[in-house]
Structure 1
């Protein structure tokens, strides 16, 4: 699993940080920052919840084959 974010699309709601603080943070401008682009599999459900909760669709999960 790889996690990607689009800071330009981010509105700074912070739901990703609340739901998956080990994977996401906000920068000084309040935009999403991915702390771990390839988080451990045990973080999948938290990351998926963060993706679903993002109001601006600024984060996504890429599954590698």
Structure 2
């Protein structure tokens, strides 16, 4: 299964991930990417792969589990 990992140190708060997958990602009070659900992100969820590809600072990455 493919999952998404988040590197909050790289996140600059552009919000591209939210535009691609608004049911999965959000920005917290510091303006950094966070998950709407506390569970693992499955890359097969709608918009997740687009969110990973659209991140200009590569704060989101796909990883095999």
What's the TM-score once normalised by structure 2's chain length? 0.79
Where structure 1 has 5 or more consecutive residues not aligned to the other structure, the ranges are none
Per-residue deviation, 1:39:
3.3
Inter-CA distance 60–35: structure 2 relative to 1 (3 Å threshold): farther
After the TM superposition, which residues 1-65 of structure 1 pair with which residues of structure 2 at under 5 Å, given as runs?
A: 1-36=2-37, 37-39=40-42, 41=44, 43=45, 46-64=47-65
What's the TM-score once normalised by structure 1's chain length? 0.79
Where structure 2 has 5 or more consecutive residues not aligned to the other structure, the ranges are none
Q: CA RMSD in A?
A: 1.8
